């Protein structure tokens, strides 16, 4: 079981964990994984490598990928380019350049 919360819930309800576990994780399947005999490789001098592979030259990549998350590459609409970054507007009067806390105008009558 990979999820401890699921394991705890199954134990509290007295259910069989085998019914909720994938076949891949059951012990008899894991044992079958190691039944196959893996022969070791012979000495490097005995390897039979085709000539087209042994003569092929592998070069390093032309460029390195920069670290970090890639930057967004979207085309900004003309309106967004003309307005600039952030335009603060007062909630009370709608004037640009300040917010309602720093507004010097009289409050609106309701």
- Is residue 103 within 8 A of residue 90, CB to CB? The reply is yes
Buried b (16+ CB within 10 A) or exposed e, 39-71: eeeeeeeeeeeeeeeeeeeeeeeeeeeeeeeee
DSSP letter for each residue of 31-95: HHHT-S--PPP--GGG----HHHHT---PPPSSPPPSSSPPP--PPPHHHHHH-S---B-TTT--
pTM across the whole model: 0.28
Query: Has residue 1 got a pLDDT over 60?
Result: no
pLDDT recorded at residue 61:
87
60 vs 1, more confident: 60
pLDDT digits (tens, 9 = 90+) for 59-100: 988 888 889 998 888 888 888 777 766 667 777 767 777 777
Average pLDDT, the chain: 81
Predicted local distance difference test score (pLDDT) of residue 2: 63
> Mean pLDDT, to the nearest integer, of 21-34?
84
Within 8 A by CB and 6+ apart from 22, the residues are: none
């Amino acid at each position: 079981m990979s999820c401890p919360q699921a394991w705890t819930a199954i134990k509290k309800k007295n259910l069989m964990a085998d019914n909720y576990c994938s076949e891949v994780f059951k012990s008899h399947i894991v044992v079958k994984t190691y039944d196959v005999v893996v022969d070791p490789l012979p000495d490097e001098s005995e390897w039979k490598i085709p000539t087209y592979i042994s003569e092929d030259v592998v070069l390093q990549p032309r460029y390195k990928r920069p670290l970090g998350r890639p930057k967004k590459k979207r085309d900004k609409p003309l309106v967004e380019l003309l307005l600039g970054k952030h335009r603060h507007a007062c909630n009370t009067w709608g004037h640009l350049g300040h917010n309602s806390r720093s507004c010097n105008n009289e409050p609106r009558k309701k």
